[in-house]
Amino acid sequence: MQAPNAWTLREILIVTVLGAVFGVLYLAWVQVWLVAQAIFGAITMDVVMGFWFIVSIIAAAIIRKPGAALLSEVLAAVVQILLGSPAGLLLLLTGLVQGAGAEAVFAATRWRDYRLRVLVMAGVGAAVFSFVYTWIRFDYGSLQPGLLIAMFGLRCLSGALLGGLAGHLVTEALYRTGVLSGLGIDRARRAHV
């Protein structure tokens, strides 16, 4: 009998595909951010940042095992690097930090709760972890306190909406197609019917 947290080949393949797809989408999202930044200014990064957390939410909600959120973000970072992202190898650290922020929220529930509020909080968790990381990397300590509060609030809101809520909506849409049958999300729903 397989251990409850052991991964199947199908689960590994699904997380790998999600990482690859969202690695491409994340790279494209950089262009959205650059256009928005040119129009609205530097704080735009915090407004759009939540999309860069979405794969961790989707993978965790589908697989429902420890490590899904973290692994999916790291894989998305690897794909971006392979596609020539100018951020280079720093993306590995970025993916690790963002995935760890989401994973921490799922760990707090002992990987047992994937309701919308937890997915939204996982998006906020990724936002908080990423904010600490960018604070260190870009010396946010030199910024005005009011600006820091606005940036942090916008990033958390973006994580909640573009990461958590949007991740929930994508997961639900995928579930309705039937392609997730037999996976963690499907087993959990069948157990509650």
Specify the residue for token string 């940036």: 151
What is the mean predicted confidence (pLDDT) over 150-175? 97
Which domains are delineated in the chain? 9-184 (1.10.1760)
Q: What is the pLDDT of residue 193?
A: 67
Q: In angstroms, rounded to a whole number, what is the distance separating the alpha carbons of residues 33 and 47?
A: 9
Q: What is the pLDDT of residue 117?
A: 98
Q: What is the pTM of this model?
A: 0.95
Q: What is the pLDDT of residues 21-67, one digit of tens each?
A: 999 999 999 998 999 888 888 788 999 999 999 999 999 999 999 99
Return the CA Rg of the chain.
17
User: pLDDT class for 192, splitting at 50, 70, 90?
Assistant: confident
